[in-house]
């Protein structure tokens, strides 16, 4: 059995008032069958749209996605007398911008991408994994051609580059992957690691296991972009672009919105909203993508998902449910890979507990 932490939006959706019952949930995933059970809301906290844990799993961090965003650290308290584990708030502090949408625990720091302000925040972690005072807030200027979405920088994802010397910020608003050099005194801006075609709207990325390629989701151009990655300079060069949806898009305006990407071995998996599919691409020996297939999820708005062994668990935000796919069934055209569902309000993040 694997315990999953689930982050949520307000039940009325993104952009609506926070603090109306949303919070962090716990769900159990049966490792043998993919069944979901034991859903319970562990704590109420405003719009915890993205979650991360300390390396030992004893502290859970929530990005509270709203204007003047905050980060909250919860201690995972052991249950007793048959009770499940709980969450106790230890600290809360500003996220370093507006609408924090992605968190990454990086050794002794918590890195935060703030979407609306376009800023990267570096929050130090204390030896017991609490939130330290001070830190850094790093931002920049720019925009893109999609007027209603690229009016300025919009940091959407943060990653550590292969080799560990640089931190990367995927900026949907400027069509760039920003690069920051790690120094003894913190992060230092170090230019642009990659520029995507105008109007791409890069959202999330994942690296191949050997670090030679990056796979970037374009939210606005509905594509997956493959970058040949030079680890020495932390620079990516575009070598391939493929559609994020294989087959027709069933929506009123024909527009889809790719969301999250996971690179797992020889597979690249991408969630796509509006089309409401999970697309799997195979990675060839040359790092390029081939044999793409999209799988209908039977629900709305797959904002985030996690790969847990043979299962892919996706949060369907606008149909208020989790769905589980059997990855072993993705090569069998006679089988529906969806094996389980569970009702849960507005799930936005699926995080396996270490």
The per-residue pLDDT for 249 is 59
Collapsing DSSP to helix, strand or coil, 328 comes out as helix
For residue 26, being part of any structural domain is answered with no
Average pLDDT over residues 80-99: 83
For residue 118, being part of any structural domain is answered with yes
- The CATH number of residue 193's host domain is 2.130.10.10
Residue 215 in this model has a pLDDT that exceeds 90: yes
CA atoms within 13 A on the CB side of 95: 33
For residue 84, being part of any structural domain is answered with no
Residue 55 burial by CB count (10 A; 0-12/13-18/19+): exposed, middle or buried? Answer: exposed
The per-residue pLDDT for 354 is 87
For residue 66, being part of any structural domain is answered with no
For residue 298, being part of any structural domain is answered with yes
What pTM, to 2 d.p., does this model score? 0.95
Report the number of distinct structural domains present in the chain.
1
Domain with 291 in it: 97-352
The pLDDT confidence band at residue 291, using thresholds 50, 70 and 90, is very high
The per-residue pLDDT for 250 is 52
For residue 48, being part of any structural domain is answered with no
Describe the strand order of the beta sheet including 86-94 as a list of residue ranges. 48-53, 59-64, 70-77, 86-94
| CA of residue 164 relative to chain centroid, distance | 20
Lowest mean pLDDT, pick from 68-82, 116-130, 257-271: 68-82
For residue 28, being part of any structural domain is answered with no
The per-residue pLDDT for 79 is 64
For residue 3, being part of any structural domain is answered with no
């Amino acid at each position: 059995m694997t315990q999953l932490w689930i982050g949520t939006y307000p039940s009325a959706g993104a952009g609506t008032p926070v603090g109306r019952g949303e919070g962090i949930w716990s769900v159990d995933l049966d490792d043998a069958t993919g069944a979901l059970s034991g859903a319970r809301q562990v704590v109420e906290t405003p719009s915890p749209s993205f979650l991360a844990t300390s390396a030992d799993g004893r502290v859970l961090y929530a990005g509270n996605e709203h204007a003047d965003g905050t980060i909250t650290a919860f201690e995972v308290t052991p249950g007793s007398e048959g009770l499940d584990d709980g969450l106790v708030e230890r600290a809360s502090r500003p996220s370093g911008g507006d609408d924090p949408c992605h968190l990454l625990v990086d050794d002794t720091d918590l890195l935060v991408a703030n979407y609306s302000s376009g800023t990267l925040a570096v929050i130090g972690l204390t030896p017991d994994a609490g939130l330290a005072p001070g830190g850094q807030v790093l931002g920049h200027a720019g925009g893109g051609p999609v007027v209603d979405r690229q009016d300025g920088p919009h940091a959407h994802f943060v990653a550590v580059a292969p080799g560990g010397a640089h931190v990367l910020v995927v900026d949907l608003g400027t069509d760039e992957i920003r690069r920051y050099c790690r120094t003894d005194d913190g992060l230092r801006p170090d230019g642009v690691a990659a520029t995507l075609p105008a109007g791409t709207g890069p959202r999330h990325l994942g690296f191949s296991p050997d670090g030679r390629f990056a796979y970037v989701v374009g939210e606005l151009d509905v594509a997956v972009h493959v970058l040949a990655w030079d680890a020495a300079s932390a620079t990516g060069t575009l070598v391939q672009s493929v559609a994020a949806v294989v087959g027709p898009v069933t929506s009123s305006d024909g527009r889809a919105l790719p969301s999250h990407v996971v690179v797992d071995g020889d597979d690249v998996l991408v969630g796509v909203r509006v089309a409401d599919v999970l697309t799997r691409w195979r990675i060839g020996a040359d790092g390029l993508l081939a044999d793409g297939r999209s799988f209908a999820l039977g629900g709305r708005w797959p904002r985030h998902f996690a790969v847990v062994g043979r299962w892919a668990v996706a949060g369907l935000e606008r149909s208020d449910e989790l769905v589980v796919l059997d990855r072993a069934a993705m090569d069998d055209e006679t089988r529906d890979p969806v094996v389980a569902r569970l009702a849960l309000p507005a799930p936005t993040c699926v995080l396996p507990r270490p």
